[in-house]
Amino acid sequence: MDIISENRCFGGVQGVYGHRSKATGTDMTFGLFLPAEAADGPVPVLWYLSGLTCTHANAMEKAGAQGWAAEQGIAVIFPDTSPRGENVANDAAYDLGQGAGFYVDATEAPWAPHFAMESYIMQDLPSTVFDAFALDPNAQAITGHSMGGHGALTLAMKHPGRFRSVSAFAPICNPAASDWGQKQLGAYLGENADFEAHDASHLMRTDGLDVPLLIDTGTNDQFGDLLKTEAMASAVATRRAEATLRLQKGYDHSYFFVSSFMEDHMTFHSEALYA
């Protein structure tokens, strides 16, 4: 593991690190905010999965998570959103290929060799960070924005027991029925794949989530039609899951929205992580 940068931040350290991933077969970069408490022993961890076009850096720089994480003594991991590099498949569109891994393991050409973001987030990166840093594997939570909200919701439901709490900012809720989902799941998994196995609203209906859930989405989200928040709202209500869904008046899809509600999400996760 290589140290790319380390900056003192809210009494802790905002680091950026590089490592070789078996899952993706590439070098990967991630951000990690480690609060001061990590000097005394393992701290709880919040995974923050980012959206389309983002790298590890966007949320680390714009989401305003570190101050609240420092206050709660929680580490935050900011993974990249896909494998990258000259030898990694890509697409000219912003929403396919590099920067758009969708948190699934691709089975189809040309994506299969490197696009294994579910395995990367669930196995490969955890084995790296829990080995290298004072993080408590028994106190993990997950959140994400947009495509990363889809990732947080689906990974938590596909891997019950792994996360103590789940939240999302403007998540893609129903990719099996959206242009943000059908295109990518078709490319990565094949047009005949079971898209619903990677659809948060479907998973909520069929498997549910046995930990607390918080979702915030803006009423002025410019991608609202693609997110299909109504599918998740319906699924949560049908399932009678322990959940809070908030439609935030006037907010859009930007980091100005995400940062506005970061305190609430960090408090929410803190309650579960320290329970």
Q: By the criterion CB under 8 A, which residues form the site for a copy of itself? A: 7-11, 14, 61-62, 64, 66-67, 218, 220, 248-252, 254-257, 259-260, 263
For the question of residue 56 being annotated catalytic, the response is no
Least Å from the CB of residue 48 to a copy of itself? 16
Per-residue burial over 9-35, b = 16 or more CB atoms within 10 Å of its CB, e = otherwise: bbebbbbbbebebebbebebbbbbbbb
Active site residue 105: no
Give whichever of 58 and 201 is closer to a copy of itself, judged by the CB atom: 58
CA angle 214, 131, 67 (to 5 degrees): 40
Q: Which is nearer to a copy of itself, 64 or 149 (CB)?
A: 64
172: closest CA among 192, 199, 194, 197?
Answer: 199
CB atoms within 10 A of CB 92: 6
Nearer Cβ to a copy of itself, position 36 or 241? 36
Question: Considering the complex, what minimum distance in angstroms separates the CB of residue 211 from a copy of itself?
Answer: 27
Q: Cis peptide leading into 171, omega within 30 of 0?
A: no
CB of 12 to a copy of itself, least distance (A): 9
Of 21, 50, 82, 146, which one is the catalytic site residue? 146
Instruction: Tell me how far, at minimum, the Cβ of 244 lies from a copy of itself, in Å.
Output: 19
Is 82 one of the annotated active-site residues of the chain?
no
Nearer to a copy of itself by C-beta: 12 or 101? 12
Q: Which residue out of 145, 150, 253, 269 is catalytically annotated?
A: 253
**Measured between alpha carbons, how far is 175 from 146 in angstroms, rounded to an integer?**
11
| CB 55, CB 99: distance < 8 Å | yes
- Which residues carry out catalysis? 146, 221, 253
